[in-house]
Amino acid sequence: MVRFDVIVVGAGTAGCLAASSAAEEGLNVCLIDVKSKEDIGRKVCGDAIGKHHFDNLGLKYPSGEELERKVEGVFIYSPDRKSVFEVKGEGLHGFVVNRHLFGQRLLKKALEAGADLHDSTRVVKPLIKNGVVIGVKAKKGSQVEDLYASIVIDASGMNAVIRRNLPPELGIEKEPEKEDVIACYREIRVLREQLPEPEYLRIYLNSQVAPGGYYWIFPEGENKVNVGLGVAMRKGFPNPKAQLYKYVLSQPLFEGSRVIHGGGGLVPTRRPLDRMVSDGLMLVGDVAFQVNPLHGGGIGPSMMAGRIAGKVAAEALEEGDVSTEGLWRYGVEYIREYGAKQAGLDVFRTFLQKLSDEELNYGMRNKLITEEDVLITSMGDELKLNLTEKIVRLFRNLGKIDLIMRLRKLVDLMNEIRDHYRVYPSSLTGLASWKTKALEIMERAKAI
Ligand SMILES: Cc1cc2nc3c(=O)[nH]c(=O)nc-3n(C[C@H](O)[C@H](O)[C@H](O)COP(=O)(O)OP(=O)(O)OC[C@H]3O[C@@H](n4cnc5c(N)ncnc54)[C@H](O)[C@@H]3O)c2cc1C
């Protein structure tokens, strides 16, 4: 029987960090991915990562071929494109990376720490005995193998092969609501000439073009761009590829451009899963909805979660307790560190998705929220409104005082939910009542 301390399913950003941190703690780690070793890291993505994530994790900044472009800020365009917010500052410094080479670096880190890679291997389902996850069933070619471990970490991204195959009595949410998921399509293209100010990412809000989401143009190296579009998967949502071709790639900027790669993907843009562990099991990355709900950035939080999970796995094994209670502190640490910010931004996202283009145009033109506020909010800190006497009067005269009242409610609810996530229960016992209150706040947010 093949047995490990830890099996990590998926060698993406979450899985590689979980595997490397567990292996660095001296654990015997098996890292499984359906991709071949050479292909690990290839993923349809916007490829942008904040510098602070590298600082927090003590990772070297991307350089050489792995670095496509240094980022200094973001231009955010209103639906009528008459207002452009230039959001910049230390908090928005970052990188556009070559996603494949970045993924390969993380894989190398896990392998150098001692993780044992099983590539080209598909995990089919978890192995569960008496409610405890004890391993995985995996398939390489036509060969099926049962692999056992004290702890299984599901890091299989939106595929969520373990989470989806858990029996309901384990109490872990199986599927996100469709409306909380963004369906994306993106292409890497070479333009005829380089974009001006290539150190700025571009985000365009427009509910006709990208309902519930946005479209983006992120400059990469030389004349290359990463251009994509995401839509909320609400009833009757349009095809993101068709929208990208119709409204974005038809713009003069893309005339004569050449496609290098195109593909689609899903992003879970909501607060994190309220329960991330079970007996012998931890969930990290997209599996646990660890993504910034406002802009969909999940690379940073998934790496952070992977790091915490690997460390907690080692502590739990040391203490001889890999039960839900023994692993619980992983969820506590993640939620208090990043999940609380995510929850606040989830409330903001729910609100933004309901604003009409006209309201967004007004709001941006009249600086209801300033560039600085956008920066602060996107970092997960408190949203402050720019409600001067003059602005309130202007909105009253325009017959839009209702928008101001709704914004005030929004700020209160963002604070309330963040505070609630900061007191995430320190054991399973407190989860049910905590969850009821979290859902109740979300219901009020949806009603604004
Ligand atoms: C179009 C798009 C644009 C995005 N843009 C950005 C961005 O600019 N910045 C940002 O920070 N985030 C972005 N994201 C989100 C980000 O890509 C994810 O949040 C992040 O990669 C999550 O990492 P992960 O490790 O959880 O999952 P993944 O990176 O998806 O890794 C999962 C791994 O599991 C493997 N796997 C899956 N199923 C199995 C199985 N059954 N058996 C074995 N292996 C399996 C896969 O091969 C893969 O290697 C974007 C996402 C999309 C779709």
* For range 318-331, the mean pLDDT: 98
pLDDT single digits (tens) 406-423: 888 998 999 999 999 999
Q: What is the pLDDT of residue 408?
A: 86
What gap in Å lies between CA 307 and CA 329, rounded to an integer? 13
Token pair belonging to 252:
């003069």
Give the residue-averaged pLDDT of 130-155: 97
Query: Closest Cα to atom 6, ligand 1: which residue?
Result: 46
* Residue 407: predicted pLDDT: 85
Q: Which domains does the chain have, with CATH numbers?
A: 2-60+99-174+272-343 (3.50.50.60), 178-268 (3.30.9.10), 345-447 (no CATH)
pLDDT of res. 378: 67
pLDDT at 221: 92
| C-alpha neighbours within 13 Å on the C-beta side of residue 226 | 22
- Residue closest by Cα to atom 1 of ligand 1: 45
Atom of ligand 1 nearest to the CA of 16: 25
Higher pLDDT, 398 or 210: 210
- What is the tens place of the pLDDT at every residue in 14-23? 999 999 999 9
Q: What is the mean pLDDT of residues 134-145?
A: 97
Q: Is 49 a pocket residue for ligand 1 (Cβ < 6 Å)?
A: yes
pLDDT (mean) for 215-238: 96
pLDDT for 270 beyond 80: yes
390 has a pLDDT exceeding 80: no
Residue nearest atom 41 in ligand 1 by C-alpha distance? 123
Per-residue model confidence (pLDDT) at position 213? 96
Strands (E), 141-239: 143-154, 181-190, 200-204, 214-219, 224-232
- The number of the ligand 1 atom at minimal distance from the alpha carbon of 264 is 1
What digits encode the pLDDT tens for the residues 364-378? 888 877 777 777 776
| Rounded Cα distance, 258 and 345, in Å | 36
pLDDT at 60: 97
Structure tokens at 344: 């606040």
Cα of 12 from ligand 1 centre, angstroms? 6
Q: What is the structure's pLDDT at 262?
A: 98
Output the pLDDT for position 155.
98
Exposure of 79 in the CB half-sphere (CA atoms within 13 A): 19
Mean pLDDT confidence for 254-283: 97
Question: Is the CA virtual torsion 388, 362, 89, 197 positive or negative?
Answer: negative
State the pTM of this model: 0.96
In whole angstroms, what is the distance from residue 21 CA to residue 17 CA?
6
> Given this model, what pLDDT does residue 379 score?
66
Mean residue pLDDT of the chain comes to 94
Strand ranges (E), 284-357: none
Which of 52-56, 131-135, 168-172, 367-371 is least confident?
367-371
Cα-to-centroid distance, 260 and ligand 1 (Å): 20
Q: What is the DSSP letter of 338?
A: I
Distance 155 CA to ligand 1 centre (A): 9
- Residue 381 confidence (pLDDT): 62
The confidence score (pLDDT) of residue 382 equals: 67
pLDDT band at 402 (very low <50, low <70, confident <90, very high): confident
Average pLDDT of the segment spanning 214-237? 96
Would you state the structure tokens that stand for residue 348, as one six-digit string? Answer: 């903001």
On whether the CB atoms of residues 115 and 11 are closer than 8 A, the answer is no
Given a cut of 90, is residue 39 above it in pLDDT? yes
pLDDT at 335 over 80: yes
**pLDDT tens profile 285-313:** 999 999 999 899 999 999 999 999 999 99
Average pLDDT of the segment spanning 27-44: 98
pLDDT at 424: 97
Instruction: Give residue 178's pLDDT band: very low, low, confident or very high (50, 70, 90).
Output: very high
Q: Which residue has the higher pLDDT, 19 or 359?
A: 19
Q: Is 307 in the pocket of ligand 1 (CB under 6 A)?
A: no
- In the reported structure, the alpha carbon of residue 272 is separated from the centroid of ligand 1 by a whole-number distance in angstroms of 15
Q: Report the alpha-carbon distance of residue 201 to residue 85 in Å, rounded.
A: 12
Cβ neighbour number for residue 81 with a 10 Å cutoff? 11
